[in-house]
Amino acid sequence: MHPLFRRSLLAVALVLAAASCSKASDGDDEDRPRKRSSSSQKGLLEQDSKQALVEDQDFGTIGWSFEADGVVKADVRDPSGAPIKDGVSGELKVGPAGKPTTVPLKPIEGTAIYGASVPSFSADLTPVTYVVRVKGKPYTGTIHVPAGGTNVMFASPPSVMVAADAKGPHGGVIQAVGDDRVELVSDDSTGEVRAYVLDGDLRPIPVGDRRVTIGVVADAPDTVVLVPAPDRTYLSARWRVRADPSRVTVCVRRGPAVRVAIVGWRPGVHLLVGVRAPIWHVRIHTGWGPPAFWVHGDDWDDDDDEGHIEIGGRGHWRGRGWHRGHR
């Protein structure tokens, strides 16, 4: 064979071999397991900082995520922002004080996050009281979680403006919840708490078909469902609060639409816990006198427990589903 022809065949063979190797290499890349994203090794605050409800504690911060199906994640950090990976334990109590479900908080393998699995969140607001121990010292708090989880708080931020120091026409605190302005005020002697819906000029308007649930942290946590007054000018309930609260979570439901807000808070802002928490002055001497009506019954969990409304101390309404606004 002529030397020139032999060299040409060799060159063609080399080209074909290189192409074959390249293809094989591409195929190997497709079949080879891809390297797991490093996000699984990161804390909750790096993964989804805009969806974490962050609380400032004395030791640092806890970033919380509560999902609709009951998956709970907690990102525990020191003051420098570094994850605390050792010496952390705790538990969650889900539901009212009389019948909570207690679940331990444990490390999630391969992450810098602690987690738990609790019953799904289906009530308008479900109280979750926690104890997180850092190097043996306990830190406590209560979060009222809406149906759908904490994502609900971030999905529909208020669409109306309310001045931070605004006072309602009844002397209460005003919070924007979705496209509503809600004034909260409580009588300091009877324990009646009312929610008024206000227009842009801060004047009361009919509550219509709104359903309001309040989760409060004060001398003790409480969750109450407010029902409309007979003339629907406000919604009312009686709560067990004996001191002005340090946190108030408000849920407004209109049909299938649910909006949730924490008084004085907006997404991206840390919540303060303990002695540094703000105090919301909603308990005042109103002069309302005895409540015109009030609700009795187990209303926290949206489970159709029986209750009754007492009107003016005379007569009772009894039935199921009262907390849905039926009377």
pLDDT digits (tens, 9 = 90+) for 107-131: 999 888 999 999 999 999 999 999 9
The CA distance from 62 to 150, in Å, is: 14
pLDDT of residue 46: 54
Does residue 33 lie within any of the structural domains?
no
Clarify whether residues 145 and 194 are in a common domain: no
In a domain? residue 15:
no
- Out of 51-55, 117-121, 310-314, least confident range: 310-314
Average pLDDT, the chain: 80
pLDDT digits (tens, 9 = 90+) for 36-52: 333 344 555 555 556 78
Check residues 19 and 294 and name the one with the higher pLDDT. 294
- Other residues' Cβ atoms within 10 Å of the Cβ of residue 271: 20
The domain total for the chain is 2
Contacts of 78 (CB under 8 A, 6+ apart): 59, 60, 84
**pLDDT at res. 267:** 87
Q: Is residue 99 one of the residues assigned to a domain?
A: yes
Per-residue pLDDT at 304 exceeds 50: no
Q: What is the pLDDT of residues 191-217, one digit of tens each?
A: 999 999 999 999 999 999 999 999 999
Could you give the CA distance from residue 291 to residue 213 in angstroms, rounded to a whole number?
18
Answer whether residue 277 is part of any domain.
yes
Domain's final residue, options 129, 153, 177? 153
Tokens 């850092």, residue located: 134
- 194, β-bridge pairs: 185, 236
pLDDT at residue 294 tops 80: no
SS3 97: coil
Q: Are residues 197 and 300 in the same domain?
A: yes
Q: What is the mean pLDDT of residues 275-300?
A: 76
220 pLDDT exceeds 60?
Answer: yes
Q: Are residues 234 and 96 in the same domain?
A: no
- Shared-domain flag, residues 204 and 309: yes
Residue finishing a domain among 114, 134, 153: 153
pLDDT of residue 26: 42
Residue where a domain stops, chosen among 95, 119, 153 = 153
Same domain, 163 and 133: no
Burial of 185 (0-12, 13-18, 19+ CB in 10 A): buried
Indicate if the alpha-carbon torsion angle 167, 277, 60, 151 is positive or negative: negative
122 in the same domain as 164: no
At residue 317, the pLDDT reads 32
Please tell me whether residues 141 and 49 are part of one structural domain. yes
User: Are residues 247 and 304 both part of a single domain?
Assistant: yes
Residue 51's pLDDT is 75
For residues 175 and 291, membership in a common domain is answered with yes
Q: pLDDT at position 59, please?
A: 94
Q: Looking at the structure, do residues 52 and 93 belong to the same domain, yes or no?
A: yes
Q: What is the pLDDT of residues 252-268, one digit of tens each?
A: 999 889 999 999 998 88
For residues 47 and 43, what is the distance between their CA atoms, to the nearest angstrom? 6
Is 202 part of any domain?
A: yes
Rounded Cα gap, residues 227 and 291, in angstroms: 13
Give the pLDDT of residue 327.
31
List Cβ neighbours of 190 (8 Å cut-off, separation of 6 or more): 238, 288, 289, 290, 291
* In a shared domain, residues 167 and 315: yes
Select the highest-mean-pLDDT range: 23-32, 46-55, 74-83. 74-83
- CATH code at position 131: 2.60.40
What are the structure tokens assigned to 105, written together?
């908080």
| Residue 171 forms part of a structural domain | yes
Domain residue limits at 236: 156-324
Residue 159 has pLDDT above 90, yes or no: no
Report how far apart the first and last C-alpha atoms of the chain are (Å, whole number): 105
Q: Look at 91-95, 137-141, 154-158, 223-227 and tell me which has the smallest mean pLDDT.
A: 154-158
For residue 9, the model assigns a pLDDT of 41
Instruction: Kindly calculate the radius of gyration of the chain based on its CA atoms and give it in whole angstroms.
Output: 28
The answer to whether position 3 is within a domain reads no
Is residue 27 domain-resident?
no
CB-count exposure of residue 254 (10 Å: 0-12, 13-18, 19+): middle
Tell me, yes or no, whether 132 and 267 share the same domain: no
Q: State the virtual CA torsion across 95, 99, 100, 103 in degrees, nearest 10.
A: -150
Q: pLDDT of 7-16, one tens digit each?
A: 444 443 444 4
pLDDT for the residue 193? 96
Band (pLDDT 50/70/90 cuts) for residue 27 is very low
Q: Is pLDDT at 180 greater than 50 in this prediction? A: yes
Average pLDDT over residues 291-318: 45
